[in-house]
């Protein structure tokens, strides 16, 4: 079919069909403020597919042959804005209090595995920030408690017997590839101070590559938060600036899933413009120095 020269009309009914399909597939909800964005992306995809009606495009998306196109559409609809050390106050709360408490609690239980999931990780700045801060917190904890008199050099990134895993997931394959690559421009490094640059990055030309030892801690994988098959047994979950694109019903469902994906006493950290208030009574809010997090409430048996 030839590529149409003028924009194809999108009827109300077609819009509703496509909106419902996107919602059903990934939970993203396009309200009146965001329908313009949705329309623009749909027009773009229609042109790429060289189709002449949105109904044919819808038919393609729901067919077996249309699975790749559906992934492409969802990628075009996601907002991937992110940065290292995003929301400094919250990162401080995570570093100074949540990690400290988690490390102590785990040590008491002789469980040395810490798992922190970055759900909706975009191009990797969030999970790598989590990994850097966790490595620092563990090194500091070891220094303070002097648990091992081990003077070996070079020191491992995660001092034994600690084990840290940062699963990082997204619905967008392009951002997952970028995260896996772990190479960032000077602009993307703006919020990374020199002590972090020196310890956790190698300079490659005019860009910065995440060091191998840090990369080994972060595992990128595709996960659609709309589904039930999500990483389990997390001590902490970061899901920031993702829920804001979902409607209230989907937010409630996601919070329930996060509750189940967390270990007892675990923490959930959401974005600056997001909140759990009024959506659940399964978490209690923790607030310190402008940083906010939510801790899982345990019910007595
Ligand atoms: C604005 S970015 C936030 C990145 C990072 N969490 C931060 O706060 O800097 C939102 C990310 O959520 C992802 N996303 C949106 N819907 C999703 C879904 N249903 N499942 C998994 N990831 C999703 C997008 O692809 C995008 O990379």
3-state DSSP assignment of residue 113: strand
What is the C-alpha separation between 278 and 262, in angstroms, rounded? 20
Ligand 1 center–CA 74 separation, angstroms: 11
What is the C-alpha separation between 17 and 12, in angstroms, rounded? 9
| pLDDT over 80 (residue 89) | yes
Q: Is the peptide bond before 26 cis (omega within 30 degrees of 0)?
A: no
Average pLDDT, the chain: 93
Question: What average pLDDT does this structure show over 61-84?
Answer: 97
Q: Which atom of ligand 1 is nearest to the CA of 122?
A: 27
With cut-offs at 50, 70 and 90, classify the pLDDT of residue 153.
low
The residue whose CA is least distant from atom 2 of ligand 1 is 80
Pocket lining: 226 vs ligand 1, CB cutoff 6 Å: yes
Ligand 1 center–CA 146 separation, angstroms: 39
Ligand 1 center–CA 90 separation, angstroms: 18
Q: pLDDT digit string (tens) for 25-70? A: 999 999 888 999 999 999 999 999 999 999 999 999 999 999 999 9
Pocket lining: 224 vs ligand 1, CB cutoff 6 Å: yes
Ligand 1 center–CA 122 separation, angstroms: 6
Percentage of residues in the chain having pLDDT higher than 70: 95
Instruction: Name residue, tokens 């030892």.
Output: 213
Pocket lining: 127 vs ligand 1, CB cutoff 6 Å: no
* Strands in the chain per DSSP E: 113-119, 163-170, 183-184, 201-204, 207-210, 218-222, 234-239, 262-270, 283-288, 291-296
Q: What does the pLDDT read at residue 203?
A: 97
Q: What does the pLDDT read at residue 144?
A: 83
Q: In what order do the strands lie in the sheet with 283-288?
A: 218-222, 163-170, 113-119, 234-239, 262-270, 291-296, 283-288
Q: What does the pLDDT read at residue 151?
A: 55
Q: What does the pLDDT read at residue 251?
A: 98
The residue whose CA is least distant from atom 27 of ligand 1 is 122
Q: What does the pLDDT read at residue 142?
A: 84
Exposed / middle / buried, residue 103 (Cβ in 10 Å: 0-12, 13-18, 19+): buried
Ligand 1 center–CA 175 separation, angstroms: 10
The residue whose CA is least distant from atom 13 of ligand 1 is 120
| Planar angle of CA 62, 34, 230, nearest 5 degrees | 55
| pLDDT over 60 (residue 148) | no
Instruction: Name residue, tokens 């829920």.
Output: 243
Of 207, 224, 214, residue with least CA distance to 169:
224
Q: In degrees to the nearest 10, what's the CA dihedral of 68, 70, 72, 76?
A: 180
Q: What does the pLDDT read at residue 145?
A: 79
Task: Give the Cβ contact number of residue 72 at 10 Å.
Answer: 16
Q: What does the pLDDT read at residue 52?
A: 92
């Amino acid at each position: 079919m030839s590529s149409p020269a003028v924009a194809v009309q999108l009827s109300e009914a077609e819009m509703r069909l496509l909106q419902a399909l996107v919602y059903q597939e990934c939970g993203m909800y396009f309200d009146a403020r965001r329908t313009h964005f949705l329309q623009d992306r749909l027009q773009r995809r229609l042109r790429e597919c060289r189709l002449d009606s949105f109904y044919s495009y819808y038919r393609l998306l729901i067919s077996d042959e249309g699975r790749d196109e559906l992934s492409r559409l969802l990628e075009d609809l996601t907002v991937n804005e992110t940065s290292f050390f995003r929301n400094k106050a919250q990162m401080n709360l995570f570093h100074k209090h949540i990690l400290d408490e988690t490390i102590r609690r785990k040590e008491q239980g002789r469980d040395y595995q810490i798992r922190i999931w970055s759900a909706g990780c975009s191009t990797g700045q969030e999970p790598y920030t989590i990994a850097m801060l966790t490595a620092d917190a563990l090194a500091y904890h070891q220094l303070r408690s002097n648990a091992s008199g081990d003077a070996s050099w070079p020191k491992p990134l995660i001092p034994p017997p600690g084990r840290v895993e940062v699963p990082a997931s997204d619905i967008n394959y392009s951002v997952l590839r970028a995260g896996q690559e772990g190479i960032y421009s000077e602009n993307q490094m703006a919020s990374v101070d020199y002590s972090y640059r020196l310890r956790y990055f190698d300079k490659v030309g005019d860009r910065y590559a995440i060091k191998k030892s840090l990369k080994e801690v972060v595992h990128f994988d595709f996960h659609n938060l709309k589904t039930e098959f999500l990483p389990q047994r997390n001590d902490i979950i970061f899901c920031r600036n993702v829920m804001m694109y979902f409607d209230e019903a989907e937010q409630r469902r996601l919070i329930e899933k996060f509750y189940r994906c967390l270990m007892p006493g675990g923490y959930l950290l959401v974005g600056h413009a997001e909140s759990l208030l009024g959506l659940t009574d399964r978490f209690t809010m923790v607030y310190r120095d402008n940083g906010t997090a939510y801790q899982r409430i345990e019910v007595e048996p």
